[in-house]
Structure 1
Amino acid sequence: MGMKSKFKNFFFVDEEEEYVEEYIEEQKEEPAQPRTNKKQPVQKQNVVSLQSVQKSSKMVLLEPRMYAEAQDIADHLKSHRAVVVNLQRINKDQAKRIVDFLSGTVYAIGGDIQRVGTDIFLCTPDNIEVSGNITDFIQED
């Protein structure tokens, strides 16, 4: 090999075969569907709200002295807390108004209200299930 061939080999590489890799993507075969401009409905997935999964449930015991405290009770229910309301120390008219207000509140949040004693009510939001019942022999005045 002469100097000329060495120079030629150095700068001009002999023709080499190029090796080209071809990647083939695997596609799932789907049945042929006519294409339209309408958007397909998205399938719903099983999603659990973190708000409904609470580490500890709380129960609040309240004994309102006036009707204005009914909104505080409703706020506890909206915060997903069960509330036991003792209405024995309030006059009957205001107690009835509080029960009416709380009945509307538990209906709006999908909860429940139950009488558990003389002028004592258990109000629960939708994340708390109450089973069983208490029979009472309440003698009304």
Structure 2
Amino acid sequence: MAMGMFDKFLGFIGFDETEEQQEEKEAVDKRENLQQVKKKNAPVVSIHSGRQLRVVVCEPASFDEAHQIAENLKNRRAVVVNLEKAGPEQARRIVDFISGATFALNGDMQKVGQNIFLFVPSNVDIANELRKDTKEKSIFAWAKS
């Protein structure tokens, strides 16, 4: 009631709001109410994408197959490379090429066995307790110096 009297007083001395200003205020209030309703009714989205992680296993016999392995890394797939079929020189070239591709994609690599390597893109993390021990040893069995 006090507010109504104050509005009447402002109207009496000529400082009352015009109809346009009142309509503008009402429109703003309606927009704000609609935004609040939209926020309340927003769909809930799961953080987990449900997308499966694909791991590709390759046994390249020649350097020509290294390109396809790098393509798998570019497509954000983890790749296990078994180099038992490749000769020592071919194996070195393949690992060098894939290591470069992995580095360029901010990925990571890990030796998991004799002539077997795991290359992963940046969206995959390798957790291994033995990793500290393998860094001390040479990764490449054929590169003894």
TM-score, normalization: structure 2?
0.58
SS at match of 1:132: coil
Structure 2 residue aligned with 1:15: none
Q: Which runs of 5+ in 2 are unaligned?
A: 1-17, 29-48
Tell me the alpha carbon deviations over residues 80-124 of structure 1, each in whole angstroms, 9 at most, x when there is no partner: 000000001110000000000011000000001111110000000
**Partners of 1:54 and 1:96 in 2: how far apart?**
37
Equivalent residues, number: 96
- Root-mean-square deviation over aligned CA pairs: 2.5
1:74-89 superposed matches below 5 A? 74-89=70-85
Structure 1 residue aligned with 2:58: 62
**Partners of 2:65 and 2:86 in 1: how far apart?**
11
The AA in structure 2 aligned to 1:131 is A
Once superposed, which parts of structure 1, at least 4 consecutive aligned residues long, lie more than 6 Å away? none
TM-superposed CA distance for 1:131, in Å, is: 0.6
TM-superposed CA distance for 1:54, in Å, is: 6.6
Q: Which runs of 5+ in 1 are unaligned?
A: 1-19, 28-52
**Partners of 1:115 and 1:75 in 2: how far apart?**
20
TM-superposed CA distance for 1:56, in Å, is: 1.2
Structure 1 residue aligned with 2:19: 21
**Partners of 1:125 and 1:113 in 2: how far apart?**
9
Structure 2 residue aligned with 1:115: 111
TM-superposed CA distance for 1:133, in Å, is: 4.0
**Partners of 2:56 and 2:111 in 1: how far apart?**
16
The AA in structure 2 aligned to 1:110 is N
Structure 2 residue aligned with 1:124: 120
**Partners of 1:54 and 1:101 in 2: how far apart?**
32
SS at match of 2:64: helix
1:21-60 superposed matches below 5 A? 21-23=19-21, 55-60=51-56
Q: Which has the larger radius of gyration?
A: 1
Give the 3 Å change call, closer, same or farther, for CA 127–119 of structure 1 in structure 2.
same
Q: Which has the higher helix share?
A: 2
